[in-house]
Amino acid sequence: MSVKNSRILIAILVFICSKALSQEEVAYLYFKKDSIGQCEISMYRNGEKSSNIDYVFKKDTINDRVIFTLCKEKFVFNHKKNNISIIDRKDIEKINFFNINKLLDKVEAEWPETNKSNAFKKIYIIEKRDNERYLKYLVEWTDKYY
């Protein structure tokens, strides 16, 4: 294989790998206020002795922030930093939604290099507004309590 072909092959591999990584950088969570979900909780980072618990999706507004609570995890939307987007139902059908367990698994699997604040490049919460439209919030995953 020539040097030129090797460089092309390496460039293609880098592109494929970066594309695969970029798909994981954005997470979408579906939020339905006051609905009940289940999450897996463990006292240990390796997931040992985990148990499922029921939780209620909560949404609170404090000052300029909308705080979403999913499985005891806080996701904060700040009105001063971001705007709420409106998206159509047809666009929702294209989104690959994560559940809260998938987010938690990623942080636990890659800890200590990864934590809540850097596990994903962006996290969006999608909330149904009416039959045709949804609200899209860019949120921060945080341990802060407001």
pLDDT for 121-139, tens place per residue? 999 999 999 999 999 999 9
The overall pTM is greater than 0.85: no
93 DSSP assignment: T
User: Can you give the residue range of the structural domain that contains 100?
Assistant: 26-142
| pLDDT tens, position by position, 95-110 | 999 988 888 888 888 8
The total of structural domains in the chain comes to: 1
Mean pLDDT of all residues belonging to the chain: 80
Average the pLDDT over 32-47 and give the result.
70
Within 49-121, residue ranges assigned H as helices are: 89-92, 100-110
Q: Is residue 45 part of a domain?
A: yes
Q: How far is residue 20's CA from residue 43's CA, in Å, rounded to a whole number?
A: 31
Q: Is residue 12 part of a domain?
A: no
> Contact at 8 Å (CB) between 116 and 124?
no
| pLDDT tens, position by position, 19-35 | 344 345 899 999 987 77
Query: How confident is the model at residue 16, as a pLDDT?
Result: 46
What is the chain's length? 146
Q: Is residue 57 part of a domain?
A: yes
